[in-house]
Amino acid sequence: LTVQSGWTEVFPNETVTLRCVIQGSSTEWIYEWYRDGQELPVDEADSSSVNGDTYTILSADQSHNGPYTCRGKLTRRAVQSITSSPVNLNVLPLPKAQLTVQSGWTEVFTNETVTLRCIIQGNSTEWIYEWYRDGQELPVDEADSSSVNGDTYTILSADQSHTGLYTCRGKLQRAAVYSLISSAATLNVQAQPQAVVTLDNGWMEIFLIITEGSLTMRCELQGTSANWNYIWYRDGAQISLNHTRERHTVGFWNGSYDGEYKCQGNRTDRACYSLISAGFKTTNIRLCFIVGVSGSVI
C-alpha cells in the first residue's frame, strides 16, 4: 500500500489517493480497503471513490484518521493476497496563522520600514502567504513600497495610507488548502512630529528678566508622547554628541554662545527622527535687569 502524494500527514479538504500494488497482472485482482481493520465501503457520503487499484479520499477530514491496509482478491477464483502493511494517515487540524511585527512596535512614523511576519507552525516551506489590510488582499506592488520574501511582508517606506488592520494566512503549495486567518495587528502610521524651540519660561523674543546671566531653551515635540533623545545645533553644527537632553542652557556673559539654535528629536528605541525645528536666535533676546523693587529699570 502506498500513498501516491507521498505524505501521510494532510490537512482538511485535501485529496488523498492510496494505491494497492500486487506484483503481476493487476487486471486479475479486485481490491479491498480497510481502516482500523474495518472494510471500507465506497461511499460518496464518505467522500471516497475507487478506480481499479486506487482508493481516493476526495476531501479529507479527521474522521479519515487511522491505519489503512489493502488486499487483493482474484477475480477468477477464491484466492486472496496477504494483507498489506499499514499506512497511517493523520489528518491534522487546520493551523492558525500568527502575525507579528518584527520591529516590535505598531506605531511608526512616515518613511520608516515595517516588516510583518506570518508564522505557521510546522514546515514553513509548505506554505505560500497572503496578506490583507482592512480585509482586502494586498498586492506586492513597488508603487505601494512593499515587498514579500517568504513569510515576511515589508513596507519599505511607510506613509499614512499604510495605516490599518493587517492579517495573513497561508495556502498550501500542493493543494487549495488554507490556514485559519491570523489575529489582526493594528499599524498606525503618524506624521513625523515637528520640533519647536521655546524658552523654558515660555517667553520668546520679548523682554526677559534674567537673574543668573543664562538662558534655557527647551525642545518640544508636537503631537507625540513617545520617548525621545534630543539633538541640538548652533549655526548648523551639532553641539555635542553626548548632549541628548530636552533642555539646553547658554550663558549671556559669553558672546561665543550667540547664534541660531535648532533642535531635533531622535527616538530612544530606534533610528527615527522628528522634523528639525525652525531656528531660534539668541540675539533676538533683549536683556533687562531689576535693580530694585522700587527703583527704575535700566
The distance between the two most distant Cα atoms of the chain, rounded to a whole number of Å, is 132
| Grid coordinates of 275 | 522634523
Q: How far apart are the first and last CA of the chain?
A: 107
Indicate the burial class of 144 (C-beta count within 10 angstroms; 0-12, 13-18, 19 or more).
middle
What percent of the chain is predicted at pLDDT more than 90?
41
Rounded CA-CA distance 30/48 in Å is 17
Last residue of a domain, one of 190, 224, 246: 190
- Distance, in Å, from the CA atom of 166 to the CA atom of 138, rounded to the nearest integer, reads 10
Q: Is the pTM of this model over 0.85?
A: no
Domain residue limits at 154: 98-190
Q: Which long-range contacts (CB under 8 A, 24 or more apart) does 278-281 make?
A: 278/196, 278/197, 279/197, 280/197, 280/204, 280/217
If one counts the domains in the chain, the total is 3
Which of 161, 190, 219 finishes a domain?
A: 190
pLDDT tens digits for 166-224? 999 999 988 889 999 999 999 999 888 899 988 876 554 444 545 456 778 888 887 77
Structural domain contains residue 297: no
pLDDT of 212? 54
Both 80 and 121 in one domain: the answer is no
Neighbour count for residue 36 (Cβ, 10 Å): 11
